[in-house]
Amino acid sequence: MPVVCFTNHFVYRGDSAWAEFFAAPFATWVIAGFSWDLILTATACTIWMAAESKRLQMKGFVWHFVAIFLVGICFALPTFLFRREYHLERKRPKLDAA
């Protein structure tokens, strides 16, 4: 959904699209509060994902970092958690069912 909203903004706003894109998230105190919450959440998640990727020696963290800015934390965090679980499952020793 964030991509749909952003795409519509850039399609319909014309020359002022970029200026409005960066001004609108801070247009009112209420919206600014939500914007800062998302910024801080994305920052904290990025730091955690980077540390976790390094700790587990996972490759491909850069794609999640890019996804935060192109789509949003609502996409980047769940895909990272899915990949992390897959990585952990592959590293877990298999018990033979004999």
- 52 CB-contact burial (10 Å; exposed 0-12 / middle 13-18 / buried 19+): middle
Helices assigned H by DSSP within 14-72? 17-23, 29-56, 61-70
Domain contains 96: no
Domain contains 98: no
Domain contains 97: no
For residue 52, what pLDDT is reported? 96
Domain that residue 54 falls in: 2-91
pLDDT tops 80 at residue 48: yes
What pTM does this model have? 0.77
Q: Residue 2 — very low, low, confident or very high, per pLDDT cuts 50/70/90?
A: confident
Instruction: Say how many domains are in the chain.
Output: 1
